[in-house]
Amino acid sequence: MIWVVLGIIVLLALILVFAYNGMVKARNKVDESWSGIDVQLKRRHDLIPNLVETVKGYAAHEKEVFENVSAARSAAISAQGPAAQAQAETALSGALGRLFAVAEAYPQLRAVESFKALQDELADTEDKIAAARRYYNTTVRRYNTMLQSVPTNVVAGATGFTRREFYRIEDDADREPVAVKLGT
């Protein structure tokens, strides 16, 4: 009889250890995936001053646009957490859109190789940011599911694991499809 009780205790201890270790791994994956977003955002933030300087050379009178991009970049760099980061990056994307609209008015600028290279690199970075956000949200979903599933929810409650936020779009206008206009 004592062996049965001892076996059950050991089995329960193993279940708890495996549950805890699985949650630690999931939490670390979430942190790692957030770091992936952070790396790509840093790359984006580093490209923006070069882009602004290139456009400034052709459109020096567009001071307000440059100031808005700089302010949005500063806010994005200092944002903390998924919700604040998403909001700041949305504002930065809008400011960059206005910068590219200004650049469209200058055909000679669009022909400059450095501008085209920066634009291509920024587009590549945007794709990488989107992929990093998808990966982050996948790891958050897995982690949060573990926190809500038995037996890991018992371990989570006892050891202080907490839910993580998804990286989501705050502005409903950003969910609208992009309008493509082909002019003649």
pTM greater than 0.85 (yes/no): no
Topology of 2-175 in CATH? Answer: de novo design (two linked rop proteins) (1.20.1440)
Extract long-range pairs of 103-108: CB within 8 Å, 24+ residues apart: 103/55, 103/58, 103/59, 105/59, 106/55, 106/58, 106/59, 108/58
Indicate the domain borders of the chain. 2-175
DSSP 178: P
The answer to whether residues 155 and 16 touch, using CB atoms and an 8 Å cutoff, is yes
Report the alpha-carbon distance of residue 107 to residue 114 in Å, rounded: 14
How high is the mean pLDDT in each 10-residue block of the chain (184 residues)?
A: 94 95 97 95 93 84 87 93 90 91 83 86 93 96 95 92 87 50 42
